[in-house]
Amino acid sequence: MSSFTLDGQTVTFDAGQTIMQAALAAGIYIPRLCYHPDLKPHGSCKLCTVKVNGRQASSCTYQAQDGLVVESNTSELNDERRALLQMLFVEGNHFCPSCEASGNCQLQATAYELQMMTPHYDHFYPDRPLDASHPDYLLDFNRCILCSLCIRASRDVDGKNVFALSGRGINTHLIVNAASGQLADTGFSGDDKAAHVCPVGVILKKRSGFRVPIGKRSYDIRSIGDLAEPGES
């Protein structure tokens, strides 16, 4: 069977698997935000950057190959990942204590995992109005990290194209498929895959807030790194 080494540990893989997929199957955590096991990889957040034979590559898009030497859990890479997290925090408006996703949020959990203590950079404080038009769901764009998971889920799984990226550079933002620009006027429904993939707290179900108290949520109980046990994907 083919294999590569990841931080010195031998990881076997099936043909066609990416480094991320092989690592997940082996129960090894590589930080990630724009990857979801059910969706086509995108390679944009760059949290999953590893060194493959000494060169940086996104592990979620890089095909595993026999004999590769992959480094992931090094202080150099983790320092850089922490800086990426800090960038994501200052790019949007993240007030964790008042966020319904707190404790279930992968951005927050990854920041804990990588011991990010402060946002470090100056905040951008972008102006991103909420969309509360839909009867069952709320969009709080303040927290959007532009990972495009909802876009891929809606397009590739739901067959709907409810979401898309618009703008460019630091003005990149999420839009919805309606002339009014409002979620209520799209084909979005709570049964969509897209309603359940947001790694942060943008796409929120109404009238269900704080059912699980803070302190008892996914990443309050286990760190995000521990979740990647064999079979999780």
Q: Does residue 90 interact with other proteins by CB under 8 A?
A: yes
Site for other proteins (CB under 8 A): which residue of 107, 144, 162, 202? 162
Of 7, 34, 32, 1, nearest to 165 by C-alpha is: 34
DSSP assignment letter at 213: P
Of 172, 192, 162, nearest to 44 by C-alpha is: 172
Contact indicator for 77, 50 with CB cutoff of 8 Å:
yes
Query: In this structure, what is the dihedral angle of CA atoms 28, 32, 34, 40, given to the nearest 10 degrees?
Result: -20
Minimum distance from residue 98 beta carbon to other proteins (Å): 23
Specify the amino acid at residue 116.
M
Site string for ligand SF4, 129-168 (x = CB under 6 A): ---------------xxxxxxx------------------
Q: Does residue 25 interact with ligand SF4 by CB under 6 A?
A: no
**Site size for ligand SF4, by CB under 6 A?**
13
Minimum distance from residue 198 beta carbon to ligand FES (Å): 14
The interface region with ligand FES, picked from 5-13, 45-53, 69-77, 160-168 by CB under 6 A, is: 45-53
Kindly calculate the radius of gyration of the chain based on its CA atoms and give it in whole angstroms: 18
**Alpha-carbon separation of residue 141 from 129, 180, 204 (angstroms):** 7, 16, 11
Of 222, 230, 229, 233, nearest to 103 by C-alpha is: 222
Residue matched to tokens 């269900």: 208
The interface region with ligand SF4, picked from 65-73, 98-106, 184-192, 200-208 by CB under 6 A, is: 200-208
Q: Which residues bind ligand FES (CB under 6 A)?
A: 32-35, 43-48, 58, 60
Binding site for other proteins (CB under 8 A): 41, 43-47, 49, 56, 58, 61, 63, 80, 83-84, 87-88, 90-91, 121-122, 124, 145-146, 161-172, 175-179
Applying CB under 6 A, which residues contact ligand SF4? Answer: 144-150, 174, 197-198, 200, 202-203
